Amino acid sequence: MWDRLQKLRLSRKHLRHLKVAAIGPATKQAIEKRGMKVDVVPREYIAESVVKSLRQRVRGKRVLLARAKIARDVIPRELRKLGGQVDVVEAYETVVPQASRRRLRAVLNDPRRCPHVITFTSSSTAKNFVALLGKMWRGSAGSDSRRRPLPRKTSPPVPDGIRLASIGPVTSSTLRELGLQAHIEAENYTIPGLIKAIVADTDRGGAPKFRH
């Protein structure tokens, strides 16, 4: 967005009249670094909470939603129902590096490198993880008696005992749709929140203690 503003020779003064909403603290911080004030940050960092936070603010207003190319339509659909005129603009696109397929399979098939925890920070990471594994891979990393097995219905198969950690309920739901189980889910839907949840799970014996 900032690159486009620069090409259009627009500055912050052209945006002073706007009210700005950020989906979470990291986005808020990035906006504030550009010298803009953030007026709204929802209590929960998901689309449904954004809609709830803007419920009384959008009737008769024009709303610009800058988002990923592939995203849920919760925000534009619900804000339009509330009387807002919403323009959706694709600000970025997630792309899967082809080299990741080989690297991911190499890690998961190596008993010395196979992880105890795999993190998912968005629905796209879950979908891309499954796409990269494909149907050819069969978990051969072996099991660890200290780990807990995944359900038999997982697809693609994942080595026994690997814990899947999700940043929040939307990502967890995507994992379930893909046949995978989120053993760990962050209460605060941020990277620090995800780390905290993993550490807590480790302390409860969900996975082997981390070695520093």
What CA–CA distance (Å, rounded) separates 207 from 200? 10
What CA–CA distance (Å, rounded) separates 120 from 182? 9
Asked whether this chain's domains 2-92 and 99-203 adopt the same fold, the reply is yes
Please give the CATH topology (third level) of the domain spanning 99-203: Rossmann fold (3.40.50)
Nearest in space to 45 (alpha carbons), one of 183, 194, 164, 182: 194
Determine contact, residues 182/165, Cβ cutoff 8 Å. yes
Predicted confidence at residue 58, as pLDDT, reads 93
> What residues in the chain have per-residue pLDDT under 70?
135-159, 206-212
Predicted confidence at residue 209, as pLDDT, reads 59
Helix (H) or strand (E) holding 166: strand 163-166
Residues linked to residue 66 through DSSP beta bridges, in sequence order: 89
Predicted confidence at residue 19, as pLDDT, reads 94
Predicted confidence at residue 182, as pLDDT, reads 92
Its pTM stands at 0.67
Please give the CATH topology (third level) of the domain spanning 2-92: Rossmann fold (3.40.50)
Q: So where are the chain's domains?
A: 2-92, 99-203
